[in-house]
């Protein structure tokens, strides 16, 4: 199958891959006045009195923001927020189709980590979680760390932790096939970066020998927590 051709046809059909759907019908005055003004003022008052009620009366608790600035999209590199939008839409499709979670793509015209952090903090009240996606290193580490520290909702950098989860699952299942234990094998990680760093951390937490380290060329060293790396001169 020619996936490139099929993808262009799919993406241009609607266009895009996601849409906003109303959960309530507004076919008469009473329905409209309940969904919007004047009735909508009552849940506003409830949330003002008890901020946690935002999870009862709004979409916040079931909605995730998929956030990128387009600086490290797939294998395409720094292609910008607009060109990264199809990938973010696709991630939203995965959230909905496989997790039943509503997700919305947020593609930021933000060049610095400070701009990304400020933008995500500004939109955080709308969402129940933040999925960071395709943001270059080392900024991705620092962005995630600050957002995790300052926000009261989950923050997840997919390129790090999503990849690490899948790699760990693959390694564990492969070891079952060959009858070996994670504690007894030697694991080589070639190239740290965002995904590689998280993979090594995840493997070590799962029981891989503590001596397992990344072997870095030096280019990505600043992007990685130093305790994860073993630097070797080539």
Task: Report how far residue 122's alpha carbon sits from residue 106's, in angstroms, rounded to the nearest whole number.
Answer: 12
Task: With H, G, I as helix, E, B as strand and everything else as coil, classify residue 95.
Answer: helix
* CA angle (209, 213, 215) in 5-degree steps: 150
Give the residue among 169, 221, 149 at the shortest CA–CA distance from 191. Answer: 221
Active site residue 91: yes
Task: Report how far residue 213's alpha carbon sits from residue 232's, in angstroms, rounded to the nearest whole number.
Answer: 11
How is residue 120 written in tokens?
A: 């995500």
Q: Name the active-site residue from 13, 36, 201, 222.
A: 36
What stretches of the chain show up as alpha helix (H) in DSSP?
3-13, 29-35, 41-49, 54-57, 80-99, 113-123, 139-150, 163-178, 193-206
Q: Name the active-site residue from 17, 27, 91, 222.
A: 91
Active site residue 57: no
Task: Report how far residue 116's alpha carbon sits from residue 113's, in angstroms, rounded to the nearest whole number.
Answer: 5
Active site residues: 36, 91
């Amino acid at each position: 199958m020619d996936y490139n051709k099929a993808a262009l046809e799919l993406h241009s059909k609607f266009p895009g891959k996601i849409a906003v759907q109303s959960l309530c019908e507004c076919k008469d005055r009473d329905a409209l006045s309940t969904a919007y003004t004047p009735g909508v003022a009552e849940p506003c008052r409830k949330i003002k009195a008890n901020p946690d009620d935002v999870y009862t009366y709004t979409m916040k608790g079931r909605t995730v923001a998929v956030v990128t600035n387009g600086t490290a999209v797939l294998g395409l590199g720094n292609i910008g927020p607009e060109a990264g939008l199809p990938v973010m839409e696709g991630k939203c499709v995965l959230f909905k189709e496989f997790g039943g979670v509503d997700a919305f793509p947020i593609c930021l015209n933000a060049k610095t980590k400070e701009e990304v952090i400020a933008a995500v903090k500004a939109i955080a009240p709308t969402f129940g979680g933040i999925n960071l996606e395709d943001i270059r290193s080392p900024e991705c580490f620092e962005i995630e760390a600050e957002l995790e520290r300052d926000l009261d909702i989950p923050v997840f950098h997919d390129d790090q932790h999503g990849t690490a989860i899948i790699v760990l699952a693959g390694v564990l299942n492969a070891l079952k096939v060959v009858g070996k234990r994670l504690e007894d094998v030697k694991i080589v990680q070639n190239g740290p970066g965002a995904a590689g760093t998280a993979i090594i951390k995840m493997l070590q937490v799962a029981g891989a020998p503590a001596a397992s380290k990344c072997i870095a060329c030096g280019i990505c060293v600043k992007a990685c927590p130093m305790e994860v790396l073993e630097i070797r001169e080539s």
